[in-house]
Structure 1
Amino acid sequence: MTDTARALGSVGRGALRLTVYLLWTLLLIPVQALAVALRWPLRHRLPVFYHRQCARLLGLDLVVRGQQAAGAAAGPVLFVSNHSSYLDITVLGALIPGSFIAKTEVAGWPFFGLLAKLQRTVFVERKARSEVGKQRDDIGARLDAGDSLILFPEGTSSDGNRTLPFKTALFAVAARRIGDRPLTVQPVSVTPTRLDGIPMGIAFRPFYAWYGDMDLAPHLWQVFQLGGMTVEIDFHPPVTIDDFSSRKALAEHCQRVISEGVARAVSGRPAPTAAAAATTPAPVAP
Structure 2
Amino acid sequence: MGRVRAVWILGALAAVTLVGLPVQWAALRVSRPAARRIPVLYHRILLRLLGTRLTIVGRPAPGRPLLLVANHVSWFDIPLLSAIGPLSFVAKSEVGTWPVVKTLARLQRTVFVDRQRRSATGGTREEIAGRLSDGDVMVLFAEGTSNDGNRVLAFKTALFGAVPDGRAEDERPLLVQPVSIAYTRVNGVAMGRQHRPLVAWHGDKDLAPHVLELLRTGPLDAVVVFGEPIPLKEGRGRKEVARLAEETVRAAAMRALHAGEGLLAPLSERRQNR
TM-score, normalised relative to structure 2: 0.91
Which blocks of at least 5 consecutive residues in structure 1 are unaligned? 1-8, 275-286
Structure 1 residues 115-134: aligned runs within 5 Å: 115-134=104-123
> Residue type matched to 2:25 in 1?
A
Show the counterpart of 2:272: none
Match of 2:23 among 25, 31, 38: 31
Deviation at 1:220, TM superposition (A): 0.6
CA contact (8 A) 2:125 2:164 kept: no
Aligned to 1:101: 90
| 2:73/2:201 contact within 8 Å kept | yes
Q: Are the equivalent residues in 2 in contact too, given 1:174–1:247 (CA < 8 A)?
A: no
Deviation at 1:46, TM superposition (A): 0.5
Residue 100 of structure 1 aligns to which amino acid in structure 2? F
- The worse-fitting range, judged by mean Cα deviation, of 260-269 and 46-55 is 260-269
Tell me the equivalent position of 1:204.
195
SS at match of 2:142: coil
Select the residue among 148, 158, 161 that pairs with 1:169.
Answer: 158
Paired residue for 2:246, among 236, 240, 255? 255
* 1:81-230 equivalences in 2 (<5 Å): 81-172=70-161, 173=163, 175-178=165-168, 179-230=170-221
Percent identity between the aligned chains? 42
Q: Would you say the 8 A contact 2:65–2:173 is kept in 1?
A: no
TM-score of the pair, normalised by structure 1: 0.87
Q: What stretches of structure 2 of length at least 5 have no aligned partner?
A: 268-274
1-side partners of 2:234 and 2:50: how far apart?
39
Displacement of 1:38 in angstroms is 2.4
Question: Is the deviation greater in 170-179 or in 181-190?
Answer: 170-179
Check conservation: 1:63, 1:233, Cα contact below 8 A. yes
Deviation for aligned residue 1:266? 1.3
Q: CA deviation digits over 1:198-251, x for unaligned, max 9?
A: 111111111111000111111111121121110000001111113863210100
| Alpha-carbon shift at residue 271 of structure 1 (Å) | 4.8
Residues 20-50 of structure 1: CA distance to partner in whole angstroms, max 9, x if unpaired? 0111111100000011122442001101111
Contact 1:193 1:266 in 2 (8 A): yes
Kept after mapping to 1: 8 A contact 2:90/2:112 = yes
Q: Distance in 2 between matches of 1:263 and 1:243?
A: 31
* C-alpha contact 1:76 1:148 (8 A) present in aligned 2: yes
Contact 1:244 1:250 in 2 (8 A): no
Checking the alignment, whether the CA contact within 8 Å between 2:39 and 2:86 is kept in structure 1 is yes
Q: Give me the whole-angstrom Cα distance separating, in 2, the residues matched to 1:271 and 1:80.
A: 21
In the other structure, the counterpart of 1:279 is none
Deviation at 1:149, TM superposition (A): 0.4
After TM superposition, which residue ranges in structure 1, 4 or more long, deviate above 3 angstroms?
269-274
**Partner SS for 2:124:** helix
Q: Secondary structure at the match of 2:194?
A: helix
Superposed CA deviations along residues 129-148 of structure 1, whole A, max 9, x for unmatched, are 33222221121111122211
The one-letter amino acid of 1:237's match is E
Residue 50, structure 1, aligned to residue 42, structure 2: yes
In structure 2, distance between residues paired with 1:52 and 1:101 = 21
Q: Say whether 1:231 aligns with 2:253.
A: no
Amino acid at match of 2:158: A
Alignment partner, residue 79 of structure 1 = 68
Q: Distance in 1 between matches of 2:116 and 2:46?
A: 32
Secondary structure in 2 matching 1:75: coil
1:21 lines up with 2:10 in the alignment: no
CA RMSD of aligned residues (A): 1.9
Q: Which amino acid aligns with 2:37?
A: R
